[in-house]
Amino acid sequence: MAQITKPVNLSLTWASGGDVLNPGDTKYATGWQVEIPPRQWFNYLDNRQDEAIAHINQHGIAVWDAQTEYQYELTGEKSLVMGSDGIIYRTLTTNINQDPTTTVGVHWEVAFADSGAFYTKTESDALYLAKAQNLADLPNTATARTNLSVYSQAQTYTKTEVDAKTTVASTAQAQAQSSNTTLLTPLRLAEALKGVNQTLSAASGRQVLPGGLIMVWGNTTDEGTTVNVALGANSFPNQVLFAIATDQGVAPSPPAYSTWNLQGSSSTNLQFIFNVSPGGLAYFAIGF
């Protein structure tokens, strides 16, 4: 349909200065009958309608009143009114005589945010970082890094800061090889292979490597076709993996070369057998 032109001067109200008479609620219910109604009734009805139209034209949304039943549908229409405070409210329930200015959150809610509740673009740009800037629009990057406890690419820790954040292993910790919260310097690495992990003498030695591998070596002047080598208490706590022996000392006459075989082993002993009796042997064993 074509656009309807708004009538001029809707503020004029019929019979605003005339003779009007309310026909009463009963007459409103029955309406016109076969009768000649008084002119005052017509004046009243036209006056009432004009006042309602003028009110809505003036306010845009009707002011709340205590007599109207305001409607609420969850997924449908909801009544809107203007409160006595000038704010537009929307129903939360179907209700009568529930003043929206005093029942917000129960029967009514504010329909529209006040213009003062929004920032302009200029105000928003001044208050918030732009995602596309990837933090390039931070007003003070140095302060931001300090607050976040992070460093820029050009910054490094000082020795004092490193010392405050780290602990160098003691000699005992390095040799125990069990700490996971301390640093191992070159000096401590060298010390880790010594102490309880290393036994050295002119005739024999024992070395425990990081990870638990153990090396034992030495020599003996025992003679015979079976030689038992005493390694010392708990030289290999778990198992001997490998052992070899070579001739050492004065060879028999006429010269003969021994063929050594590892016959048995334990955590404290190696037993070698051979085909001739030499003057002694040197051995080397690996285990853990």
Distance CA 246, CA 262 (A): 11
β-sheet with 214-220: strand ranges across: 198-200, 204-208, 214-220, 281-287, 240-247
Residue 116 vs residues 83, 86, 112, 113, 126: alpha-carbon distances, Å: 18, 15, 11, 8, 17
Q: What pLDDT score was predicted for residue 244?
A: 86
Asked whether residue 253 carries a pLDDT value surpassing 60, the answer given is no
Q: What pLDDT score was predicted for residue 72?
A: 97
Question: Which region, left, alpha or beta, applies to residue 202 given φ > 0 means left and ψ of -120 to 50 means alpha?
Answer: alpha
Asked whether residue 248 carries a pLDDT value surpassing 90, the answer given is no
Identify the top-confidence range among 31-40, 140-149, 181-190: 31-40
First to last CA, the chain: 100
Q: What pLDDT score was predicted for residue 250?
A: 55
Q: What pLDDT score was predicted for residue 279?
A: 66
Asked whether residue 254 carries a pLDDT value surpassing 70, the answer given is no
